[in-house]
Structure 1
Amino acid sequence: MSKLFIFGSIQGQLRSAFSKLSALQKKNHFDCAIVAGNLFSHEHDDQLTELLDGRLEIPCPTYFTVGTIALPPRIIEKIQKDEEIAPNLHYLGKRSTTKTSEGIRIVTLGGILDPNIIAGPSKEQYEPFHTEGDAKSLIGAQTADILLTTMWPADVWKNSTKAKESGINAEIAPGSSTIAELCAALKPRYHISMSPGDFFFEREPFFPQTTEEDKEKGIPLTRFISLAPLGNTAKAKAMYAFNLNREAIVTPPAGSTVTPFYKPPSKKRFSQDDEFSRFGNGHRQSDRHQKRRRQQSPPPGPERCFFCLCNPNFSTHMVCSIAEDAYLATAKGPLPASDTFKLEGLNFPGHFIITPVEHISTLSAADLTQEKAQKTFREMKRFRDSLQGMIASVSKRKLGAVTWEISRARNIHDHWQFMPVPADMVIKGLVEAGFRVLAEDLKLGKFTTKEFETADQVEGDFLRVWTWAEEEEQVVSKSLLLKLDEEVWFDLQYPRKVMAKLLGLEQRTSWQDVVQTEDEEKADVEAFREAFKEWDFTL
């Protein structure tokens, strides 16, 4: 059990805030403190100087995000230079998932929604605005002890007797529907926010509609708390302390209600006529008319790209894990079925998509800085390495893996595909032979062996393949590269065809023929998450 302390907006009153915290810390020994709202303001510059000079004592780890006021330039400079602003003071970022040194998982979305920005997650971290893409991108965080937001979730006052008695409604406290969706998806133990006026509001705890089976596992209960600003004239509560209890809740406490958030309508299932699917395996083969039409049309932007988190048709239930620059999701229409590797210990298909969060055609795209490209590559590689470790462990080394990437300048959104394969096929070179033989049959050229440790080692269009397996205490792996001629048509299903042939799954070659129901997809994601817990570096 952790003991936490929460401030409302401090608005630059640093001396007063940290003095109060120091006095309370002597008696209560808080594990950490969190600021909901604005830590700084455009005033109290002398106190900001004291903070940066190390003359203000902060008695316990204290976390904050951007509120409704942009961070002061001196604070931004300090963060960018040293990361640490002052001892025990930590900036969570505007959009982040953080596991603190105290073991508390905080999902953060600072700032006010800017509905005019539709190009996905915002690129800067210090301005007091966020996008719908920012909110949607955090859904993949899966769970949270604390959800910290500047805005309220829309409709949180519904079904609440306390809200009715206090006169709180959408006019008093306007909210964000995307933050409501985020709260509903993460089911945090506490949702902490700043009040838009001089008032404090603590809603009755709420829980989602659950089955009897769910109740036996424990009910996810959320408490929403919004604090008034420090030193407000109404003398409304601006500080709050509580114990964070992680034990399963079987019976909701008295006065709790069903969630005030309506379940969003089910996402439209895309037909086989769709030209591009986010979790499919690239474009379908098309006739010449369809290909010509695609070439003449501009590529979809982030709001229409089915790999982008800001797309309104984004199938969030297929996301397994999300990090800062990349995320992991199951493939739509996976090549292996849920029971293909049952004898090896897997109760899910194991076919995954590893995708950059940024909307980029290749990892070396001109719109990415070299530093960002390398950071994204390393994070994608970390997902791949984690998957390999999990697959080998669960299967007792009976399974290895193959990962491939088709990198082309005219791609819509770069991604890698990962799939289990019998370890013997890797160790005996059968996977490598399968790729080489089909490439020669199709007159695509010859594979060369090349190690890939960074994102920019290859120029032009290419297919790269990684094979991996463990043999006793030894790792058997290989990296293959096939340069692609831009003038020669390339079948984007080529890697899947190779693997279907090797695994004897030719009847599943076309992903459109084996699309699962949403319930089946959710079941596979849940089974995988359980197996992946030990290797998921985002938790």
Structure 2
Amino acid sequence: MTNAKILVAHISEGDADEAIRKVRKVNEKSGPFDLIVVFSKSCDETFEPNTDGLPQLLLISSDKDNNSKSKKINENVTLLHSLGIYKLANGITLSYLTYPSDALQEQKKNILDEFSKSDSQIDILVTKEWGLPISERCGRLSGSEIIDELAKKLQARYHFAFSDEKNFYELEPFKWESERLSRFLNIPKYGSGKKWAYAFNMSVGDKELKDEPEPPNVIANPYKNVITDSNKRPLETGTEALIDGDQRLPANRAKNENKKIRTILPSNCHFCFSNPNLEDHMIISIGKLVYLTTAKGPLSVPKGDMDISGHCLIIPIEHIPKLDSSKNAELAQSILAYESSLVKMNYVKFDMSTIVFEIQSERSIHFHKQVIPIPKYLVLKFCSALDRQVHFNNEKFTRNAKLGFQLYDSHSSKEYSDVINNQSNNYLQFTVYETSEANPKIYLATFNASETIDLQFGRRVLAFLLNLPRRVKWNSSTCLQTKQQETVEAEKFQKAYKAYDISLTEN
């Protein structure tokens, strides 16, 4: 059993000489490497950078017009095209598929046939595109089921993708049923300003080390996890939650509806006052049954006279996963009163419309509503933004529940009441307030509790509507604030909301 030191990099033909010079310096300082793998969008046999002093180099090209499998350019440089499996003399086996997304579906049969011929254990998988579960996990609107099938078949120890040329992404390690560990990384292009080269050690020999220590940050296998979301943090020992903005559902949802899900206790719920880690510096108002807090990683941004993001959450103080309006009318009325007060503040004080998003599910942990101010001129574009995301959800994210939204004209309509008062219904809902006086428009889509839902759906729709694509993920560097910034935001919000705060008039 030996270890191989490997470097993976992403460069373009135009930057090859400069990038290779930097690779040489890295090899001198941190090497020597046993293998260097370079992905390049477009190169051919004339692509021959100066590789003197470097170890074996595999150059993988995504030039879709070149269908050759492999070609030795010189003594230590091999050029790989399209797709295939390449075994090195030291025992490392690398599999590659460089087709762009538009060619994957066209070539699906050929791709799967090609890789079904081999029973080799794959150490490294290189693809241009990402698979769907990991793509959805980090808030991307792309991904291929063909890559999913390939990842599940090959179960490579390292999977490198290159379609995002601007951002480095590394997923925590995860396990397959065979106990084999896998890691996924996206490597951006040289010149992006991000980490364009990645070095690692890999054991090479008859078999991988079975008794090597398990990394402390192993996560659930994303290819077997039925919930599609990008944000995850532990809530209690042995239990994880996936978070969208501040929406949490158990990550270990049973594939079998009869399998019980571990209950999250109030002391471990990020919305409950009994949790010692409650971020109370973000609280705006506390009523008898409900409290109001600013959003972690807000979607909206200050605009015009509004010097706050305005993105906030209405949260019941009681630890309830789902609101039953028929049995808890007082709580439902209190939530709606908070909602109305925020709509009034946004419209009267800041000349803004409001959209409220919620998920009602028996598998939720703590029910809440997200309230987001919207410029009035954008309200008329809401339907097209919703239709667009429904299309992505239903056509591209094929694991998700198929959504179809029904429009209701008011909270008091009989048809709407019949849906929300039926406790067997689980649903996603948008409430669109153009003004503070007119009846809102309510868009509601039901789903089965056993179905997968995209917890980021509401945020995706509103990020597109607001033209804020970089703010889809609440925990992105674009959205996250320091504790001081969060405190200032809450104080400004509290000051703006004071004249509308219903907790000041509650008995």
Query: What band does the TM-score fall into relative to the shorter chain?
Result: 0.3 to 0.5
Q: TM-score, normalised by structure 2?
A: 0.46
Structure 1 or 2: larger strand share?
Answer: 2
Q: TM-score, normalised by structure 1?
A: 0.43
